[in-house]
Amino acid sequence: MASLIADIDLADLIDNAEFEDIAALIDYVTDQGKGRVSLAADTLSTLVASKEVGYVSPQSRALLVEVLKRYGGHTVMNFFRGGEGVPYREIVRDVASHMDVKTNKDESCESMEATIIMVVLKKAFEDMTEEQRDEMFKEFGGVYKPGAGPAAFAVLQGLIKASGFGSFRVTLIVVNALSKAILGRGLTFAGNAALMRALGAFAGPIGWALTAVWTVFDLGSPAYRVTVPCVLHIAYMRQKAALRSCPNCATPASPSANFCGKCGTPITALLLLEDGISGTEAADSI
């Protein structure tokens, strides 16, 4: 299903996302159904109704893409582009700039999103106690040296990158903490045991430190109150989708898909975490 306003970096991801992830995005853009000044009443009612019935149709998903692109247009002051908003790539770059994250002109959305997540983690790490930092290092197989200063985070980054699913697990924790802070609830995994284990392993230290991080990023603008959390949540969705996407054309696959909807290639990639979950357990949990 092509979005009403197509976007190569967003449409397929939204079309194939699980209901729980789409529901979170709907809550972000609608202020949990309360509505926003720049959100049309009919759009609000359509999105909220989709969430309430537990099924978001292809048309409503396309509408969600439109809403995100138009909010992004407000943040970069060019929402007069025929009412179409801006490309999602531009929204990510604008959010990165807002959060003092340096990006390159030709950098992919995935790369920019990952950098944004790491900057959020860095700010949280700076506010952690020595005990919390020590626990984070242990989680990734390292030894924390108190008093190491800024170099400690660089070491932690190396440990995260060296860990097979480290970057995804960090994104999972960051976005879960964001959801708790803004929506009042954590992420929903629809019975995915692998994700629940990845979250439960070290949610505490990062989650506690992230509680106050969101006040660092100015969300005073109505548009940034939408685009910042949505970009972070979409970063999580993109990384999760990459664990179950077409090995031939990289199109995200729905959780129940056995074949790629675009090229017909069998979908075999499964979520395999490094913490001892077997392939069978991962397959059963997805």
- Alpha-helical (H) ranges within 40-80 are 41-53, 58-75
Beta bridge pairs of residue 266: 259
User: From CA 124, how far away is CA 210, in angstroms rounded?
Assistant: 5
Asked if residues 64 and 26 have their Cβ atoms less than 8 Å apart, the reply is: yes
Asked if residues 115 and 97 have their Cβ atoms less than 8 Å apart, the reply is: no
Q: Given this model, what pLDDT does residue 196 score?
A: 74
Q: Is 129 exposed, middle or buried (0-12, 13-18, 19+ CB in 10 A)?
A: exposed
What are residue 32's phi and psi, to 5 degrees?
Answer: 55, 40
Q: How does pLDDT run along the chain (286 residues), one tens digit per residue?
A: 344 457 889 988 999 899 999 999 999 999 999 998 888 899 999 999 999 999 999 999 999 998 888 887 765 544 444 456 788 999 999 999 988 898 888 899 999 999 999 999 998 888 888 988 888 888 888 999 988 888 999 999 999 888 767 888 889 888 988 888 889 888 887 766 767 776 765 566 677 777 666 766 766 677 888 899 999 999 999 998 887 667 677 665 655 567 777 788 876 544 433 333 333 333 233 2
CB atoms within 10 A of CB 107: 16
The one-letter amino acid at 272: L
3-state SS, residue 272: coil
User: From CA 114, how far away is CA 96, in angstroms rounded?
Assistant: 10
Q: Is 66 exposed, middle or buried (0-12, 13-18, 19+ CB in 10 A)?
A: middle
Running DSSP on this structure, what letter comes out for residue 99?
T
User: From CA 124, how far away is CA 207, in angstroms rounded?
Assistant: 9
Q: Given this model, what pLDDT does residue 231 score?
A: 95
Dig out the tokens for 33 from the structure.
């159904």
Q: Given this model, what pLDDT does residue 136 score?
A: 85
Running DSSP on this structure, what letter comes out for residue 266?
B
Q: Given this model, what pLDDT does residue 4 score?
A: 46
Angle made by CA atoms 9, 12, 18, in degrees to the nearest 5: 120
